[in-house]
């Protein structure tokens, strides 16, 4: 009986977690950025706060672009990810970004962090799936 109860609780907790397809997507060469928050599949009201560390080559003048997009590509919010320490030193540099947004209903979205001023070709980027909630925290 106890075994069945524990199994039921585990199944319920698993069902409440992030969707299986909720994972960070990285473009080629984007292994040098680490995301602390938000976790993939995170549910958040405005503002969305993101943080982590990116190689100093992601930055230009201490910032790189960040935006929130819906599944159809509509941009909900944009803001710069700002270096939290000296971006001119080699290696990983901490960043923070805060984006205010407004949605009328629970909305599946993607946080896109993108390298600023890429050398050649497409900029490196990471995409983190999130769920936006109406109202504010």
pLDDT digits (tens, 9 = 90+) for 70-79: 989 999 999 9
Give the β-pairing of 63-70 and 107-114.
Answer: antiparallel
Residue with tokens 């320490």: 85
Residues 6+ apart with CB under 8 A from 22: 40, 41, 129
pLDDT score recorded for residue 79: 97
pLDDT tens string 27-48: 888 889 999 999 999 999 999 9
- The conformation of residue 10, written as its DSSP 8-state character, comes to H
Measured distance CA(103)–CA(60) in Å, rounded: 31
Confidence label for 116 from pLDDT (cuts 50, 70 and 90): very high
Q: Does pTM surpass 0.85? A: no
Distance CA 16, CA 101 (A): 25
Q: Is 130 within 8 Å of 106 (Cβ atoms)?
A: no
Where in the chain are the domains? 22-136
Mean residue pLDDT across the chain: 85
- What's the pLDDT at 137? 54
Question: Does pLDDT of 118 surpass 80?
Answer: no
Structure token digits, residue 28: 């080629």
Does the pLDDT value for residue 17 go beyond 70? no
CATH superfamily of 22-136: Immunoglobulins (2.60.40.10)
């Amino acid at each position: 009986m106890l075994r069945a109860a524990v199994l039921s609780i585990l199944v319920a907790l698993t069902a409440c977690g992030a969707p299986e397809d909720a994972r960070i997507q990285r473009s080629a060469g984007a292994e040098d950025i680490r995301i602390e928050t938000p976790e993939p599949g995170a549910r958040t009201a405005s503002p969305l706060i993101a943080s982590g560390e990116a190689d100093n080559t992601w930055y230009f003048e201490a910032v790189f672009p960040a935006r929130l997009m819906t599944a159809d590509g509509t941009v909900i919010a944009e803001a710069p990810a700002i270096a939290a320490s000296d971006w001119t030193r080699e290696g990983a540099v901490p960043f923070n970004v805060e984006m205010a947004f407004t949605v009328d209903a629970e909305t599946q979205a993607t946080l896109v962090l993108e390298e600023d001023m890429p050398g050649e070709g497409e900029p490196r980027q990471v995409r983190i799936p999130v769920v936006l909630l109406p109202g504010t925290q």
